[in-house]
Structure 1
Amino acid sequence: MTSSNQPKRFYKKAGIEPIDGGWTVALDGRTIKTPGRAALTLPSERLAKAVAAEWNAQEEHIDLLAMHLTRLANVAIDRTEETRDDMADELARYCETDLICHIAETPDELAESEESHWAPVRDWAGDTLGVNLVSVVGIVASPQPDASLNAARDHALGLDVFRLTGLVYGAGLYGSALLALAVEQEAMSAEDAYEVSRIDEAWQAEHWGEDAEAKAATENKRLEAKALGVWFRALA
């Protein structure tokens, strides 16, 4: 979204206020509502401060696409409870084709790097959550155990709307349910999980180069991962 079609900043300062059920953000004293016209009720003061910081960071125009925490909060409040079952199913689908279950066929150097970073996460998910996924060499997925898919789904269904929103968002960002689960469970930082998810991409860039568009996309995803880390730390 370019500045020509971004809304102009219409407030001087974003602050936080206590509200029934938690905290909210106020722009020049006027509290924010979600796109669904619900109160922007956040579960912790820390998260409210982080969302307010996004609003304070806006310049002449408001870049809504770059306000990752605000967008996550809107989804959590407006949509997640109604789509909880669908989101749990989505997490299970990520398990079926989880990035860190697909080891490169060649070269050996890349495959070894992937396994050294990915195998511990797979082991952690199996030991901690009962999500034991089968790894393969190559891109053709192996059928995953129903018990593991059900364990991932049940875990998702047991989360509050804010944690569930962050979890499914992370699975999409990483291409991996297991990395997202590790972040949600504080077994791994969101930033480290992103770097682990792009081992193949980083290897390709190191050996064959990377164009400006790809670099920009990587940096944007790093910002998303950083925001996701703030999100989960604020929910802790």
Structure 2
Amino acid sequence: MRKFYQSVGVEAADTGHVVTLDGRMVKTPAKASLVLPTRALADAVAAEWDAQEDKILPDTMPQTRLASTALDRVAPRHSDVVAEVAAFGGTDLLCYRADEPEELIRRQNRVWNPYLEWVRVELGAPLRVTNGILPVAQEDIALEHLKARVAGHDAFELTALHGLTNALGSLVLALAYMEGFSLLEAVWQASILDATHQEEQWGLDDEVAEKRAFQHADLTATAEFISHLRNK
């Protein structure tokens, strides 16, 4: 789409803030009003629109995309998205451990165990660990506590949590970042621990490196989205 506006603005609305293009409110792809909960997020979305040149490139507008997703796709089906995100707890990455080599086993224990201890103590969700790929059944109470924690997020934060969980392959790591237990780079490194160990032995394929760079960029954009949401 060619750029069709000259000026970008931010205005207060009854329930938040809106971004305007030549005085007209930005809409979501589903034609809903893009009402944003914080001025910080509105400013970030406005900056993305302002940065567009001759053509509007959606791939360069992650804050706009996440906000639109929250309003169009998450808010109308909040309970379904909660269930989808919470389901990661039943097969969390951190619960599936290598049975060899010893160095990888030690590294998994050192890096992953503190997260499982945190989720046990702080969220009341003790998760069982297994070796290999055979599924391990988690206790219902643990899964219920994880789901309750997920359900406590509004549509905007749930959108972010959904993105983090998918990118990291772990609900535990995503919650650890969302709730301030761990830094973004730490949960990212924890999520690629197995791959990193293998790459130390065999090297990193260029295609894998490119894909990982995109994943990391998405993760960073989601973290910025959370920061904007919490900057009242």
TM-score of the pair, normalised by structure 1: 0.89
Matching of residue 99 in structure 1 with residue 105 in structure 2: no
1:208 matched to which residue of 2? 202
The residue that corresponds to 2:178 in the other structure is 184
| 2:72 equivalent to 1:83 | no
The equivalent residue for 1:229 is 223
User: Is 1:56 aligned to 2:50, yes or no?
Assistant: yes
Match of 1:18 in 2: 12
Q: Which residue of the other structure, out of 18, 21, 39, is the alignment partner of 1:27? A: 21
Offset, 1:189: 2.8
Deviation at 1:158, TM superposition (A): 2.0
* Equivalent residue letter for 2:84: E
Q: Are residue 193 (structure 1) and residue 192 (structure 2) matched?
A: no
Query: How far apart are residue 12 of structure 1 and its match?
Result: 4.1
Post-superposition offset of 1:123: 1.1
CA contact (8 A) 2:173 2:187 kept: yes
- Deviation string 1:143-188 (CA, Å, 9 cap, x unpaired) is 0111111111112222211111111221111110111111221222
Question: Following TM superposition, by how much is the alpha carbon of 1:229 offset from its aligned partner in structure 2, in angstroms?
Answer: 1.1
Corresponding residue to 2:67 among 59, 68, 73: 73
SS at match of 1:181: helix
1:128 aligns with 2:133: no
Deviation at 1:13, TM superposition (A): 4.7
Give the unaligned 5+ runs of structure 1.
1-6
Query: Which residue number corresponds to residue 149 of structure 1?
Result: 143
Unaligned runs of 5+ in 2: none
| Secondary structure of the corresponding residue to residue 11 of structure 2 | strand
Against the structure 1 CA distance between its residues 33 and 203, is the aligned structure 2 distance closer, same or farther, given a 3 Å change threshold? same
Aligned residue number for residue 117 of structure 1: 111
Label 1:198 to 1:12 Cα distance change in 2 as closer, same or farther (>3 A).
Answer: farther
Residue 218 of structure 1, CA deviation = 0.8
Letter in 1 for 2:222: L
Kept in 2: contact 1:14–1:56 (CA 8 A): yes
Q: Is the 8 A contact 1:50 1:230 kept in 2?
A: no
Per-residue deviation at 1:63? 2.8
Matched letter for residue 104 of structure 2:
L
Distance 1:54 1:205, change over 3 A: farther
C-alpha distance 222-146 of structure 1, shift in aligned 2 (>3 A): same
Contact kept? 2:98, 2:131, Cα under 8 Å: yes
Matched residue of 1:81: which SS? helix
Larger RCO: 1 or 2 (CA < 8 Å, sep 6+): 2
Q: Which moved more, 1:138-147 or 1:106-115?
A: 106-115
Q: 1:105: how far off? A: 2.1
Change (3 A) 1:177 1:60: same
Quote the Cα distance in structure 2 between the aligned partners of 1:201 and 1:16: 43
Letter matched to residue 8 of structure 1: R
Please give the TM-score of this superposition, normalised by the length of structure 2: 0.91
User: CA separation in 1, counterparts of 2:221 and 2:83?
Assistant: 24
One of 152, 155, 160 as aligned partner of 1:158: 152
Q: Which residue number in structure 1 is paired with residue 33 of structure 2?
A: 39
Q: Percent identity?
A: 36
